[in-house]
Amino acid sequence: MKIHSAISLIIFTVYILICSCSKDNDPNVFYYDDTYCANPWDSYYTADSFSLNALNQAIDTFFRNENIQVNSIHFGFDSSKIEYCYACHCTSGRIIVVNAASCNNPKMSSLNFYQ
């Protein structure tokens, strides 16, 4: 009888761990206010002219190097976020929208992404 109880307890514990781990991987949407030249992925941009496809590839490469699995990368625009100072830290108005697992919340926050 004790063996049956121990096996049941082990199965229950494994089930709880699996459920809690999969819940941490639920997708979340993260936002980043793009700057003129102080983005963490700027060094990954290799195209000789600007294109959103090249920017998307640079961001994707950056995340892969940071060991962050992303589901999608999109771009938005908010004119209220434009800063006309043109310094590297000033925001351009472009919003980077990234869909990634919620278990990446601390890492995304440290990269200045917000929800």
| 15 within a domain of the structure (yes/no) | no
| 78 within a domain of the structure (yes/no) | yes
pLDDT at 77 (0 to 100): 96
| 16 within a domain of the structure (yes/no) | no
| 18 within a domain of the structure (yes/no) | no
What is the Cα–Cα distance from 27 to 22, expressed in whole angstroms? Answer: 10
Q: In what order do the strands lie in the sheet with 27-35?
A: 27-35, 91-101, 70-77
Q: Which pLDDT tens digit goes with each residue over 30-40? A: 999 999 999 99
Give me the amino acid identity at 62: F
Q: Is the pLDDT of residue 19 over 90?
A: no
| 96 within a domain of the structure (yes/no) | yes
| 11 within a domain of the structure (yes/no) | no
Q: How many domains does the chain have?
A: 1
Range of the domain at 50: 26-110
DSSP letters, 49-68, are: S--HHHHHHHHHHHHHHTT-
| 3 within a domain of the structure (yes/no) | no
The continuous run of DSSP H or E covering 17 comes out as helix 2-24
Q: Which pLDDT tens digit goes with each residue over 86-105? A: 899 999 999 999 999 988 99
Distance of alpha carbon 41 from its chain centroid, rounded? 12
What is the bridge-based pairing of β-strands 70-77 and 27-35? unpaired
Tokens of 101: 């697992």
Tokens of 61: 């490469």
The residue ranking higher by pLDDT, 71 or 15, is 71
